[in-house]
Amino acid sequence: MKKLIFLSGTKGGTGKTTLALNSAVLLAFLWRDVAHYPVAFLDLTPNVGTAALILLGDPLATWGRPSLSDFAGGNIADPLRAFYIRRWNTEKGAFQLVFTYMAQDVPLTRRHLEYVIQMVESRLKPKVLFFDAPPLSAGSPLAGLVDYVVPVVTPDVSAVEATKSYVDLVGGRRLRPVLNMYIPEYSISAVHGMPWELVIEKTLGERPHVIPFDKLLQAARQALEVEVLKLRPGESPGVKALAEYARYLAATVG
C-alpha cells in the first residue's frame, strides 16, 4: 500500500482536495478489477471535509455514524468501523472506494494515525491510500507517514513560497508538482519576470503539470459532485488535465 498526499504547506485553497478526490476516483475506476478496494481515502479535515461530504452524498448523512473522531476520542476501538464504501455504477462497470472522515475537531495523534494506517493496510489491502488534509505546518502528525508528496501551487507568489518551505514537512518521495488554476493569458509572473512554469521548475526542481483555471470545476464543486464523474474532458479542460495527472500517478505509484 502506497500513501500519498497533495500538499501546499500552509497555503489553503490551492486545489488539494479537488486533486486528491478526483485522482482517487480515477484510480479506483482504473484498478476496479485489480483489487477489492483499490483505493482508500482519509479525509483528515476536522468537522467533515469537502471530500467526505461529496463521498457521503448528503450533508445530513454524517448523523449518528461513527467517524475517525470517535476513534480519536476513544468511543470506538476499531478504526475500520469509521470507514465507508462509496460505489458507482457506470456503463463500463461498477467500482468503489473506501473512505473515512473526521466528524468533529478531535486531534488525531500520530499513534492513532499509525494504527489506522496499519489496519487499512492489513484488512482493506488497497493499492493506494490518499490523505486529504487542511493546510499543514510544522508538527503535523503525518510527518514520516507518507510515501509520496505532490506539491500543489497556484500562480501566486505566496502559494509557491509556502509550498517550497513545507514540501519536505511530511517526508516521502516528491512527485511532479501541479500548477493549478493557471490562466494562459497571464503566463508570466510579474514578480519573477519569467513564465510561471519556469518559476515552479526553479523552486521545486521539476516542470509542473498544468491544470488550467476552469469555472466548470467550481460549478461541480457547488453541486457537491465528483468532477471527473460528471464532466467530460471535451467540455472541461480542468477535467482533462486531472485525468492526465491521474494517468501519471497510475504509472508512477501503481
Partner 1 sequence: MGVLLNIASFALCVLGQTLVAASVYLVSLALIFIGGRGRKEKREKKRQVETRQEPTPDEIKRRPVSAPEI
Q: Using CB atoms within 10 A of its CB, is residue 27 exposed (0-12), middle (13-18) or buried (19+)?
A: buried
Q: Is 117 in the site for partner 1 (CB under 8 A)?
A: no
Report the C-alpha gap between 246 and 170 in whole angstroms.
21
Pick the piece of the chain touching ligand ATP (CB under 6 A) from 23-31, 74-82, 158-166, 210-218: 210-218
Q: Quote the least distance from Cβ 94 to partner 1, whole Å.
A: 10
Find the part of the chain contacting partner 1 (CB under 8 A) among 37-45, 143-151, 177-185, 213-221.
213-221
Q: Does 39 bind partner 1 (CB under 8 A)?
A: no
Spell out the alpha helix ranges (H) of 120-236. 157-166, 196-204, 215-222, 227-230
Q: Give the total residue count for the chain.
A: 254
Kindly tell me the burial class for residue 113, based on how many C-beta atoms sit within 10 Å of its own C-beta (0-12, 13-18, 19 or more).
buried
Which of 171, 223, 252, 254 touches partner 1 by CB under 8 A?
A: 223
Binding-site partner at residue 216 among partner 1, ligand ATP, Mg ion, none, CB < 5 to 8 Å by type: partner 1
Q: CB of residue 24 vs ligand ATP: minimum separation in angstroms?
A: 13
Instruction: Kindly report each contact of residues 185-193 with a partner whose C-beta sits within 8 Å and lies 24 or more positions away, as own/partner.
Output: 186/155, 189/155, 189/157, 191/157
Distance in Å, CB of 240 to partner 1, minimum:
9
- Does 180 sit near Mg ion (CB under 5 A)? no
User: Considering CB distances under 5 to 8 angstroms, the limit depending on partner class, which of ligand ATP, partner 1, Mg ion, none binds residue 15?
Assistant: ligand ATP
Q: Is 161 helix (H, G, I), strand (E, B) or coil?
A: helix
CA pair distance 49, 98, nearest whole angstrom: 15
SS3 assignment for 225-254 = CCHHHHCCCCCCHHHHHHHHHHHHHHHHHC
The entry of partner 1, Mg ion, ligand ATP, none that residue 137 binds, CB within 5 to 8 Å by partner kind: none
H helix count then E strand count, the chain: 9, 11
Our finding on whether 134 is near ligand ATP (CB under 6 A) is: yes
Q: Which is nearer to ligand ATP, 135 or 233 (CB)?
A: 135
Question: What dihedral angle (degrees, nearest 10) is formed by the CA atoms of 35, 37, 43, 49?
Answer: 120
Give me the amino acid identity at 104. Q
Question: Which of 8, 17, 154, 180 is in the footprint of Mg ion by CB under 5 A?
Answer: 17
Q: Which residues bind ligand ATP (CB under 6 A)?
A: 12-18, 50, 134-135, 180-181, 211, 213-214, 217-218, 221, 238
Residues that bind Mg ion (CB under 5 A): 16-17
Residues making contact with partner 1 (CB under 8 A)? 25-26, 29-30, 88-93, 215-216, 219-220, 222-225, 228-233, 235, 243, 246-247, 250
